[in-house]
Amino acid sequence: MSIGLLQVEGNDNTVLKPIHLAKKAGKCEYEFYENMVHNMTPRMMSFIPRYYGKQQVMDSNSKSVQDYLQLENLLSKFKKPCLIDIKLGYRTYDEDATTLKISQEIAKYFYQKTIGFRLSGMKIYNYESDKYDVYSRDWGRSIPPARMSKELLKFFLPTPPLSNSTNSSSSSSSSFVSNSSHNNNNNNSSNNNSNSSNQNSTEICGLDASEMNEIVQHRLDSFIGKLQDLLHVFQHEQDKYRFYASSILCVYEGDWSSGSEILRDCELRMIDFAHVFPIPDSESTEERRDQNVLFGLRSILSYLLEMRDGAVRPRSPVDVLTVAATAVSAH
């Protein structure tokens, strides 16, 4: 999974995102960071990567100058960052899209209009193999609604390394999770053969299985809280712009040796603002709400709330519409 950003030399706290100012999308994102963000509330601003201006860098190969946006690096505090990019909304084409562009966007993921989001990529550090499990855009576009819960569980409620070798209780949703996308059908026999050694090794990095499960559950609660806060912003504050094809980026620490404090931490931001449109002043209060983003946030929340409550199940498109409309009605 490539996020298309450059590291700023000597500065781990920022990254450079390339933009093409000759193209409409590039101009829009530049305009968003330069001007639009100043019209947003402080709570909305907290969900947007900090902006440090436009930079120009010489390409050593082409000898041409490339424009970049210098942005906050959301991965900098993590040793082995795990991340997921979730494209928001039941539509990802903007108000100026041609008929061809509309058909191209719909073809990317047929279920976007019913689920309200799609997974654009995922990267999870596998502590046991010391490698990353990487999931591409094509993987995200291949997920039917009936399998979405299982795929989201891999990121938001992963099975800690010790969980397969102890009898510690865990959430019922963990039954959906393999240690990675490379599941071994011979796990039962291998676990039986290694029981004696597992009993002598019930901790990793000073954490036992119950502590690891508590950390994973705490992190899930944090993501839910942040999503609920963002939902509240779009329900009650953000009424100046409509966001098309924007994503939420979720990040957490994958290295269990990093310490419990950073392992409990997580980051959530909105990213990708190449298709943001002002909402006309003539529209009513209700019309000014970004229903596209609201539907996507409610739908994602419905999945995560089911994970937290241990009620994860395969869902059909009809289920998605029903649950997304009611899951956060109490918030």
CB atoms < 10 A from the CB of 65, how many?
9
Closest CA to 234 of 4, 36, 33, 47: 47
Ordered domains of the chain (ranges, CATH): 75-326 (3.30.470.160)
User: What does the radius of gyration of the chain's CA atoms come to, in whole angstroms?
Assistant: 21
Q: In this predicted structure, what is the pLDDT of residue 175? A: 29
Q: In this predicted structure, what is the pLDDT of residue 250? A: 98
Q: 263: pLDDT confidence band, cut at 50, 70 and 90? A: very high
DSSP character string of 147-181 = HHHHHHHHHHSPPPTTGGGS-----GGGGG--SSS
Q: In this predicted structure, what is the pLDDT of residue 12? A: 84
Q: In this predicted structure, what is the pLDDT of residue 190? A: 42
Section 310-327 average pLDDT: 50
Section 130-136 average pLDDT: 96
Section 111-140 average pLDDT: 96
pLDDT above 80 (res 40): yes
Q: In this predicted structure, what is the pLDDT of residue 222? A: 96
Q: In this predicted structure, what is the pLDDT of residue 7? A: 62
Instruction: Report the SS3 class of residue 225.
Output: helix
Q: In this predicted structure, what is the pLDDT of residue 9? A: 61
Q: In this predicted structure, what is the pLDDT of residue 174? A: 35
Percent of the chain with pLDDT over 70: 78
Read off the tokens for 27: 């101009």
pLDDT above 60 (res 117): yes
Per-residue pLDDT of 210-262, as tens digits, reads: 899 999 999 999 999 999 999 999 999 999 999 999 999 999 999 999 999 99
Section 25-50 average pLDDT: 96
For residue 327, give the DSSP letter: T
d(CA 66, CA 75): 23
Q: In this predicted structure, what is the pLDDT of residue 180? A: 36
Per-residue pLDDT of 171-218, as tens digits, reads: 333 322 333 333 334 444 444 444 434 434 578 888 888 899 999 999
Q: In this predicted structure, what is the pLDDT of residue 185? A: 40
Give the chain's mean pLDDT: 83
Closest CA to 261 of 199, 198, 211: 211
d(CA 318, CA 323): 9
Q: In this predicted structure, what is the pLDDT of residue 298? A: 97
d(CA 177, CA 51): 37
Section 71-89 average pLDDT: 96
Q: In this predicted structure, what is the pLDDT of residue 101? A: 96
pLDDT above 90 (res 161): no
